[in-house]
Amino acid sequence: MLYREAGQFKTTYGADQQIFPILQDRIFVLAVIAAALLVVPLFASQYLYTEILIPFLILSLAAIGLNILVGYCGQVSLGTGGFMAVGAYAAYNLWLRVPEANNLIVVFLFGGLMSAAVGILFGIPSLRIKGFYLAVATLASQFFLDWLFARVKWLTNYTPSGSVAVGDTSAFGWKIDTPMERYLFILAFVVVATVVAKNLVRGHIGRSWMAIRDMDIAAEIIGFRPLRTKLTAFAVSSFFIGIAGAMWAFLRLGAWEPLAFDINRSFQILFMVIIGGLGSLLGSFLGAAFIVLTPIVLNQLPGWFGVKMSTALLSHLEFMVFGAMIVFFLIVEPHGLARLWAIAKEKLRLWPFPH
């Protein structure tokens, strides 16, 4: 009864093209954002911030970026970790070398832009290489970038171990230091980025991506330029991923080495996108939540039953459970959590009178 669209008539095309055409959806989303902004800081512990909320938000952003490329434009990429690294190290070098730019917003945007540039470069082969060939080709970027940040000393400011650290982070004079401040800053960034992503995918550019995804030959015949469209997707995708990488480095890790962005990171983000739902921004959030929470729950589980396990065994079991869950999920719902959500909503619309 509560969730009905009946009686909400759209009288202009503008009104029909809103992000959430149904009033209840709008209220719900605003309520979630308000709660995240106002209620969470009232009770959240340090652990909740640093181990759950901050990783969740940052990885959601990366997942949105990857979803644009894989879910909307249909170009499978296994190089996400590499692009996150580009964002992180570009941001680091700007922060390090240009003291005037010690403003997290500027630094992060720079990281995103550099990542977008690299993304365009590695996206060029996509004109000629398709499908899994492209997926493997994107691994080239992953390994090359891994190597680049491990070996080119200038990029890591000649630190002997290759590990770099940042301190003193602020934005427009607001010193971002405590977990709560970090959380709020990231939240704001992610909300804005999500709105931007939504605007892109629902407009002309998003349609061009989806056209290439669904049938690239037909798309070219009706006038889309394949290379330009794919490169736009690579650029926008890597932009988001680059920002996420810079955030991960600056606000989650503080000190890091290239290993933080290795191929396992790429897989992790890809899992989020697939489990959450290809071609769904909501799915990116759901997938990120799932991937962040699962290992935490798995680690707690034996304790709840009073079983003691060695850390090594626990990590092996984690691998097993994780792999099994991914397979299970793909079998049960290959379109991801977002589809389950949509089905639930559909049910709710009819509730309590299903006929």
Partner 1 sequence: MTVRSRVFDETLLAVEGISLSFGGVKALTDISFDIRKGEIRAIIGPNGAGKSSMLNCINGFYHPQQGAITYKGVRRSQMRPHEAAEQGIARTFQNIALFKGMSTLDNIMTGRNLRMKTGLFWQALHFGPAQREEIEHRRAVERIIDFLEIQHIRKVPVGRLPYGLQKRVELGRALAAQPELLLLDEPMAGMNIEEKQDMCRFVLDVNDEFGTTICLIEHDMGVVMDISDRVVVLDYGKKIGDGVPDEIKRNQAVIDAYLGVSH
Partner 2 sequence: MLGPFLETLIGGLLTGVLYSLVALGFVLIFKASGVFNFAQGAMVLFAALTIARLAGAIDNKEVFLGQFVAAAAVLGVALALVGWYVWREYMARGGGGDERRKVLLLSLLGAVAGGAAAYAYGKGAWPMWLAIAATAAIMGLLAYAIERLVLRHLVNQEGIILFMATLGIAYFLDGFGQTLWGSDIYKINLGLPKDPIFLFEGVFPGGLLVDPGDLVAAVIAAVLVIVLALFFQKTRIGRALRAVADDHAAAQSVGIPLNMIWLVVWTVSGLVALAAGLIWGAKLGVQFSISLIALKALPVLILGGFTSVPGAIVGGLIIGAGEKLSEVFLAPILVKQFDLAGGGIENWFAYMLALVFLLFRPQGLFGERIIERV
By the criterion CB under 8 A, which residues form the site for partner 1?
Answer: 12-14, 17, 196, 199-200, 202-205, 207-208, 210-211, 213-215, 217-225, 232, 236, 279
Of 10, 151, 228, 345, which lies in the binding site for partner 2, with binding defined by CB under 8 A?
A: 151
Considering only residues 130-149, where is the footprint of partner 2 by CB under 8 A? 130-133, 135-137, 139-140, 143-144, 146-147
* Residue 70 · residue 240 · CB < 8 Å: no
- Nearest approach, Cβ of residue 211 and partner 1 (Å): 5
- Nearest approach, Cβ of residue 339 and partner 2 (Å): 13
Q: How far apart are CA 192 and CA 20, in angstroms?
A: 16
Query: Is residue 162 involved in binding partner 2 (CB under 8 A)?
Result: yes
Q: Which is nearer to partner 1, 156 or 229 (CB)?
A: 229
Q: What radius of gyration, in Å, describes the C-alpha atoms of the chain?
A: 21
The string over 247-277, giving b where at least 16 C-beta atoms fall within 10 Å of a residue's C-beta and e elsewhere, is: bbbbbbeeebbbebbbbebbebbbbbbbbbb
3-state secondary structure of 175: strand
Cross-strand bridge partners of residue 295: none
69, interface contact from partner 2, partner 1, none, CB < 5-8 Å by kind: none
The reply to whether omega before 352 is within 30° of 0 (cis) is yes
The torsion defined by the Cα of 50, 55, 58 and 63, in degrees rounded to 10, comes to -170
Q: Which two tokens stand for residue 64?
A: 């949105």
Q: 């970038």: which residue's tokens?
A: 145
Please tell me the count of residues contacting partner 2 according to CB under 8 A. 51
Q: 């982070």: which residue's tokens?
A: 169
Query: Is residue 297 involved in binding partner 2 (CB under 8 A)?
Result: no
Query: Is residue 128 involved in binding partner 2 (CB under 8 A)?
Result: yes
Query: Is residue 121 involved in binding partner 2 (CB under 8 A)?
Result: no
Query: Is residue 309 involved in binding partner 2 (CB under 8 A)?
Result: no
- Nearest approach, Cβ of residue 289 and partner 2 (Å): 18
Which residues are near partner 2 by CB under 8 A?
Answer: 70, 76, 125, 128-133, 135-137, 139-140, 143-144, 146-147, 150-154, 162, 217-218, 221, 263, 267, 270-271, 274, 278, 312-313, 315-327, 330-331, 334
